[in-house]
Structure 1
Amino acid sequence: MTHANCPRCGGRLARDNDSGRCAPCHAAERDRLSAPPKVPASFWEHEPVRLALMERHLGRVIRAYRCHPYHGRVALPQSVVAGWLGITQAQLSRVENGPPLVHLDRLAHWAKLLRVPAGRLWFRLPDQPCWIDASLIADGADRADGEDQLTEPGERSTSAVRMENAPGQGGGATDRRRFNVLAALAGLAAGGHTYLLAEPVEVPRNIGMEHVQLASSLVDDLRRADAAAGADLLCDIAIQAHTRLSAWAARASYSREVGDALQSALADLSIEAAWLAIDADRRSEARPYLNEAITRARIADDPRVEVRALTHLSLLIRESQPGESLHCAEAALRVSGGWATPRLTTLLHLRRAHAYAVLRDASGFSREMSKARRELDRGSHEDDQGFVHFVNVQELNGIEGLSYLALERPERAVQSLHSITANPSPGHRRNQVYYTVRLSEAAYQQGDVNEAARIALDVLPVVRQINSKRVSQHLAQVRGKLAAPPQATTTSRRFVDAYDQAVSV
């Protein structure tokens, strides 16, 4: 027998040692039946492990993990690893040899148990921060004062997004805006989605549930990036990803089960693309995506997705086609009858209330607002869908304020909108900023020029940060009104000068 080294610590093994471990390492691993060991960084460079990670198949990753030389000459038994994961040996065998897992909660839980580095995964772990390769912020794009570099400690991702993949920002892009677009793209990269943005993208011949999971997780990542960076920076990204995934669905083959799930996932992606277009003030681009979402939802027989699409369509057209907006909200109420939660029903009544206000139907507006208040008083529900989490007292007051503006009752609008700024909702910053800008507009319509200018001046720096063209356009309208010579005051001139300086940067 020849000398060998311990694969765990590198120490020399005695000639008669046939366990594959030195005595100290053998003793240290006696408790391995209870939990996975802490492995060195080089563990994940082992070729079988690296290839399994590249294949995006956690079952194969687990098998390569079990057979790693770090554990000794004998692979870890399936029964031991199954015990760590909380499943049976037979279940682990199916996981290792079956199709890839698509349930994100299980993927994340097992990856954390095995301590797989986040930078090597093809999905985002819960509460995982976005990262940015330091090289992305070089070349003149310094980080804004007070911003932390969003880098995963000790990790360097292999799928970094470079600046040329970002949508064009025009001549007025600031360093902060460049940083934000990098952060948004890096967040998508952490979820493994950046190859959808590269040229060319190969269309798979067959689509499985792993592709459905990709589309679903992409929607989640877009929502998170939208909250951090704003729709202006993400709209083109969402549209491009939608185009790529739609091509997959059109050209590849898949089973009936996968087809239904894929239609629902693509409908969700269409809704997200439409919302980003709405918030980026590219409203004409939004409706085709919502029409597509409704069609896909009906093909998949998924009423929840159909209701989401109808709810967004009602929002999109409430100013230009208030009558049709009413019908969309009514259709959503009808489709969701029997399963709608109070928050969802509240939102649909708010959609109808605002549409009635645009139609100058004060009684219809009051009736729908009363229904919305009654539903909101019933509280949240465990079945609430993610897209209704913004529905709260502040949102109700905001819609009430906008409706009073449409009814040309600015004094009531000021009361409703002021209640939002007096009791802000920290979790819904963009809505808070939007309604603050609309409060400035209401104060102007009420005739209080100085108050309108003061509010606009206070909110100007935040508007520049959230990257919502919808909000920026309303503030631009306030600027135009306050710049009119008859309205000129010291405060209004201060706002106009500050606004002009900000947009010229």
Structure 2
Amino acid sequence: MTPANCPRCGGRLARDNGTGRCAPCQAAERDRLSTPPAVPDSFWDHEPVRTVLARRHLGQVIRAYRHHPYHGRSPLPQSVVAGWLGITQAQLSRIENGPALVHLDRLTHWATVLRIPPDWLWFAVGPDSPVSARADGNRAAPDLGRRTLLAGIAAVSAGSGLVGVTEEPQPRRIGSADVSRLNAVLELYRSVDYECGGGLLYREVARFAESVYRMLDWSHSAGLTPRLVAAVAAARQLAGWTALDAGRHADAQRHFAAGERAAVTADDAPLAALIRYSQAKQLQHLRHNQDAVAALRLAGSELGSRATPAVRALLWGAEAASIAALGDHRSALTLLGQASDQFERVDPEREPAWMAFYDRGELLAQYGRVYRDMARQTGTQATQAVRSVEEAIIAFGSANVRSVVLNEVGLCSALFLADEPERAVAVGTRVVEQSRALSSSRVVDRVVNLRRDLRRHRHLPAVAEFERTLTARAATTV
């Protein structure tokens, strides 16, 4: 094939064609801003793509994908591919140029979005994927896999000589590399929580947090103290978060309080803000929105000039949800606008590592919450609520099981509020089953609470039957 041929279909190009694509192929690709194109099998046999697939680095695979001649003489812009993946252009740049991804949920979701054939991958996708197993409603096999994974993480931490499996290790002098190992183990636990929920995870993480706290008494240099104390704060934050997800609210409050004190002691204002955000999420779950607003505003004021765009967006988006629940819709929409402006300024290289979870799906989910409350209180914006939550679910991706289920609960509510009860029942029936595959009390609480938004449709037989299903689900959680 010569340069005068279209790289997509092989047809001859006109002499004045400067795009590198024939007219039919350009027309076929006009929707590429919203969805990746269906590429031929030979696409993946292109030498640069084969090379980076062999390196097992999905970020480099995405870069090679963008520069493939199939797309024309100019590579696909990062902003376009980032939109497909539900992240920002800056985040994609970091993924392409940074270390290889290890989180299975993101690997499987992005490989699925780009339609990479399973035979070219170094991990499983589709029905054989561990992530798919988590979503199929079969509790026994996923729980066994999760417990095996947790045992593996515990073995990793024990192998570092910092945390014991059956008994605590003997105190010794610790250094910078030890603190890095602690944070690496913490990231492994975070990845399990991100995928599965906190029910099975809480006891392991709480034990890990207590072990890290005891290391403050071990010998170490004075210069290492702030990093070690920050590791204590981060471990306490995750222990509190998993306790919240497991429905252990008193334990969550205890860990959050200890984590906040440690973060302040370490002079890590962004981490202290994350912990206050986590406290606010617990208060929102318990319907204490006035207290949630106070916690979020305290977090923002304490940050001052140390606030990064992602942290600001996180705090303002959460505050908007509570403000809307309290009835101040104008202020809530203003806060969402400010959060969106900050989100567009996010540079992952300048954000704390623990902010990696915050993506476009998280922001869109807050839009959905605000619009749902507007629909409940004023009867408006129900359609916008449906649209926002649907976009959030797409941005999260099906592999992020807990966030997807939480937002499908929100979608079910929005559909009832938008007077689409048939669709609402279909979505709700699915999330009732999905909730059984997650170890998350928070998800179950939200599923059961769907009863408040179906009331004006309960005269319909399908809705009445769905309400009985929710009542039965509530009875199994007592």
Q: Fold match, TM over 0.5?
A: yes
Find the aligned partners of 1:314 and 1:421 in 2 and give their Cα distance: 25
Percent identical: 18
Find the aligned partners of 1:227 and 1:320 in 2 and give their Cα distance: 23
- Return the letter of the residue paired with 2:221: S
Tell me which residue corresponds to 2:341. 374
Out of 165, 170, 192, which is 1:225 matched to? 192
Find the aligned partners of 1:248 and 1:260 in 2 and give their Cα distance: 13
Quickly say closer, same or farther: Cα 1:296–1:501, change in 2 above 3 A. Answer: closer
Query: Does the CA contact (< 8 Å) of 2:454 and 2:463 recur in 1?
Result: no
By how many angstroms is 1:346 displaced? 1.1
By how many angstroms is 1:462 displaced? 3.2
- 1:133-161 CA-to-partner distances (Å, cap 9, x unmatched) read xxxxxxxxxxxx954799xxxxxxxxxxx
Quickly say closer, same or farther: Cα 1:481–1:310, change in 2 above 3 A. Answer: closer
Tell me which residue corresponds to 2:97. none
- Return the letter of the residue paired with 1:325: A
Paired positions, count: 345
- Return the letter of the residue paired with 2:370: S
Tell me which residue corresponds to 2:424. 452
1:379-394 alignment, distance < 5 Å: 379-394=346-361
Find the aligned partners of 1:502 and 1:332 in 2 and give their Cα distance: 35
By how many angstroms is 1:500 displaced? 5.9
Bigger radius of gyration among the two: 1
By how many angstroms is 1:361 displaced? 2.1
Tell me which residue corresponds to 1:416. 385
By how many angstroms is 1:480 displaced? 8.8
By how many angstroms is 1:305 displaced? 1.9
Query: Does the CA contact (< 8 Å) of 2:409 and 2:447 recur in 1?
Result: yes
Tell me which residue corresponds to 1:352. 319
Tell me which residue corresponds to 1:300. 266
Tell me which residue corresponds to 2:244. 278
Quickly say closer, same or farther: Cα 1:193–1:207, change in 2 above 3 A. Answer: same
Find the aligned partners of 2:352 and 2:346 in 1 and give their Cα distance: 14
Query: Does the CA contact (< 8 Å) of 1:417 and 1:435 recur in 2?
Result: no
By how many angstroms is 1:295 displaced? 1.2
Out of 392, 397, 406, which is 1:434 matched to? 406
Find the aligned partners of 2:339 and 2:295 in 1 and give their Cα distance: 16
Unaligned runs of 5+ in 2: 1-99, 106-125, 132-137
Unaligned runs of 5+ in 1: 1-124, 131-144, 151-171
1:238-317 alignment, distance < 5 Å: 238-249=205-216, 251-317=217-283
> In the alignment, is residue 493 of structure 1 matched against residue 452 of structure 2?
no
Find the aligned partners of 2:357 and 2:367 in 1 and give their Cα distance: 15
- Return the letter of the residue paired with 2:403: N
Tell me which residue corresponds to 1:209. 176
By how many angstroms is 1:345 displaced? 1.4
Quickly say closer, same or farther: Cα 1:280–1:488, change in 2 above 3 A. Answer: farther
- Return the letter of the residue paired with 1:247: R
Query: Does the CA contact (< 8 Å) of 1:191 and 1:221 recur in 2?
Result: no
Query: Does the CA contact (< 8 Å) of 1:314 and 1:324 recur in 2?
Result: yes
User: Per the alignment, in what secondary structure is the counterpart of residue 378 of structure 1?
Assistant: coil
By how many angstroms is 1:495 displaced? 8.3
By how many angstroms is 1:210 displaced? 4.4
- Return the letter of the residue paired with 1:321: H
- 1:291-345 CA-to-partner distances (Å, cap 9, x unmatched) read 2122112222222322222222222223543333223322332333334332221
By how many angstroms is 1:448 displaced? 4.3
Out of 157, 165, 168, which is 1:198 matched to? 165
Tell me which residue corresponds to 1:465. 437
User: Per the alignment, in what secondary structure is the counterpart of residue 274 of structure 1?
Assistant: helix
> In the alignment, is residue 362 of structure 1 matched against residue 325 of structure 2?
no
Find the aligned partners of 2:389 and 2:104 in 1 and give their Cα distance: 30
Find the aligned partners of 2:415 and 2:202 in 1 and give their Cα distance: 32
Tell me which residue corresponds to 2:44. none
By how many angstroms is 1:181 displaced? 2.4
* TM-score using structure 2 length: 0.62
User: Per the alignment, in what secondary structure is the counterpart of residue 305 of structure 2?
Assistant: coil
Out of 302, 323, 329, which is 2:290 matched to? 323
User: Per the alignment, in what secondary structure is the counterpart of residue 336 of structure 1?
Assistant: helix
Query: Does the CA contact (< 8 Å) of 1:397 and 1:416 recur in 2?
Result: no
Tell me which residue corresponds to 1:403. 370
Quickly say closer, same or farther: Cα 1:285–1:487, change in 2 above 3 A. Answer: farther
- Return the letter of the residue paired with 2:261: T
Tell me which residue corresponds to 2:446. 474
Quickly say closer, same or farther: Cα 1:375–1:213, change in 2 above 3 A. Answer: closer
Find the aligned partners of 1:499 and 1:194 in 2 and give their Cα distance: 47
- 1:173-225 CA-to-partner distances (Å, cap 9, x unmatched) read 63332233223332443454698463321341544434423321221111122
